[in-house]
């Protein structure tokens, strides 16, 4: 299925964003989808097509600077130091406006579906929209494999190995971006080599790294573009020192009754990208029938919604959540 392509503005380029649209414009349910590092729109396309077949109008975007086009010189055409979290959130707002403009419904129900780095920026978008009373605030959120803390959580027990793993690869990515498109290649190769040698990578070595290797083999990205996309990790460290958007806004929605949250995660990873307490809170909300929020783990890696064994369970959980189906999805 070939998507309808809608352009929308991003900082520095009035037509720099591209929304891939699937589904019926008359649908009462619309969904904005966004993955993270190192993905463009294509990784979520199969899921978007299946959701559109179930009566949902779906728009798939990607983080600014992540869409690869043959011949595009990313370091020249995109912002030198990447995009701040505020700028990425503004891109989501523009993509949502573009999506709603394609809908024939006056007030469609909006769901945000975010994976990887899409989850933090999607959470910031949802919480800032609620804070400023925006009409483009989501009615519900679905986060995949990355989840922030609940607002009531003061602290959580952090495993030292998990902390080492997450800091190691994030630091390598941030440093490679700062070194630029040429020196960054050596930094990334050496850094990733050490991480793999010491087996301190966070992902499933067979499932997730195989996915990354397949993308490289298909020439979806050139190396310099891969390094540019690492700007998100530089922005993470910058934000921790200056803006602190992640600290303040990468959290559950303020009111889960008003904006329910579904969290899906792969159970076959070396390190989880969530606090155990966060998962427990969502599962308790579901168990007590306080709202339709829930956390569900499926056998799979970081990109579980692309894997054969987890694709349809993820699809069922997402479509049931959006369409408020009463069927129960059990943890595996």
CATH label of the domain that carries residue 63: 3.40.50.1820
Q: What is the mean pLDDT of residues 255-263?
A: 95
What percentage of residues in the chain have a pLDDT greater than 90? 64
188, 209, 237 — which closes off a domain? 237
Domain contains 329: no
Q: What is the pLDDT of residues 304-314, one digit of tens each?
A: 999 999 999 99
In residues, how long is the chain?
332
Residue 188 lies in a domain: yes
Buried/exposed 54-64: b ≥16 CB within 10 Å, e otherwise: bebbbbbbbbb
In a domain, 332, yes or no: no
pLDDT given for residue 84 in this prediction = 96
CA distances in angstroms from 259 to 22, 103, 140, listed in the order given = 24, 21, 5
331 in any annotated domain = no
* Same domain (yes/no): 43, 140: yes
Q: Is the pLDDT of residue 220 over 60?
A: no
Which of 215, 237, 259 is where one domain is finished? 237
Please give the share of the chain, as a percent, with pLDDT higher than 70: 89
Same domain, 208 and 268: no
In the structure encoding, which two tokens stand for residue 60, read together? 């798939």
Are 149 and 164 in the same domain?
no
Per the structure, the complete domain to which residue 51 belongs is given by: 4-153+243-323
End-to-end CA distance of the chain: 31
- Longest CA span, the chain: 55
Checking if the pLDDT of 240 tops 80, the result is yes
Taking a C-beta distance cutoff of 8 angstroms, is the pair 112, 321 a contact?
Answer: no
Same domain? For 180 and 73 the reply is no
189 and 312 housed in the same domain:
no
Cβ pair 131, 89 in contact under 8 A = no
**Are 124 and 192 members of one domain?**
no
In a domain, 81, yes or no: yes
Has residue 270 been placed in a domain? yes
Confidence of residue 210 (pLDDT cuts 50, 70, 90): low
For residues 79 and 22, membership in a common domain is answered with: yes
* pLDDT tens-digit readout, 71-85: 556 777 889 899 999
Domain shared by 275 and 300, yes or no: yes
Q: Which residues pair with 261 in a beta bridge?
A: 141
Structural domains of the chain, count: 2
* Residues 271 and 149 occupy one common structural domain: yes
75 located within any domain: yes
Burial category of 36 from C-beta neighbours within 10 Å (exposed 0-12, middle 13-18, buried 19 and up): buried
Residues 280 and 233 in one domain: no
Residue 131 DSSP SS3: helix
**Domain boundary residue, one of 221, 237, 253:** 237
Q: What does the pLDDT look like over 99-154, one tens digit per residue?
A: 999 999 989 999 999 999 999 999 999 999 999 988 889 999 999 999 999 877 75
Q: Residue 268: which residues within 8 A CB-CB, separation 6 or more?
A: 204, 207, 299, 300, 301
Could you tell me if residue 330 is inside a domain? Answer: no
Q: Tell me the pTM.
A: 0.92
Residues 190 and 125 in one domain: no
Which H or E element spans position 60?
Answer: strand 56-61
Same domain, residue pair 107 and 201 = no
């Amino acid at each position: 299925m070939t998507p309808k392509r809608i352009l929308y503005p991003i900082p520095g380029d009035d037509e720099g964003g591209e929304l891939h649209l699937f589904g019926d414009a008359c649908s009462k349910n619309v969904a904005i989808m966004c993955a993270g590092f190192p993905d463009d729109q294509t990784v979520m396309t199969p899921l978007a097509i299946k959701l559109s077949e179930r009566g949902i109008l779906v728009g798939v975007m990607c983080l600014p600077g992540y869409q690869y086009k043959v011949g595009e010189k990313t370091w020249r055409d995109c912002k030198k130091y990447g995009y701040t979290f505020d700028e990425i959130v503004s891109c989501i707002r523009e993509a949502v406006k573009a999506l709603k403009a394609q809908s024939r419904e006056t007030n469609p129900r909006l769901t945000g579906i975010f994976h990887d780095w899409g989850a933090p920026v999607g959470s910031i978008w949802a919480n800032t929209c609620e804070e400023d009373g925006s009409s483009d605030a989501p009615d519900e959120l679905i986060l995949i494999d990355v989840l922030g803390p609940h607002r009531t959580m003061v602290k959580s027990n952090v495993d030292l190995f998990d902390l080492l793993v997450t800091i190691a690869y994030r630091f390598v990515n941030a440093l490679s971006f700062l070194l630029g498109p040429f020196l960054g290649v050596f930094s990334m190769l050496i850094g990733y080599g050490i991480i793999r040698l010491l087996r301190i990578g966070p992902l499933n070595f067979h499932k997730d790294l195989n996915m990354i290797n397949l993308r490289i083999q298909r020439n979806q990205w050139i190396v310099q573009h891969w390094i540019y996309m690492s700007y998100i990790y530089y922005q993470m460290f910058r934000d921790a020192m200056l803006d602190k958007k992640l600290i303040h806004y990468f959290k559950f929605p303020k009111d889960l009754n008003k904006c329910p949250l579904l969290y899906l995660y792969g159970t076959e990873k070396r390190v989880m990208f969530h606090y155990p307490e966060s998962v427990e809170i969502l599962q308790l909300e579901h168990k007590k029938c306080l709202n339709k929020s829930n956390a569900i783990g499926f056998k799979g890696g970081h990109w579980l919604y692309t894997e054969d064994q987890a694709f349809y369970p993820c699809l069922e959980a997402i479509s049931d959540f959006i369409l408020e189906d009463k069927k129960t999805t059990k943890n595996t």
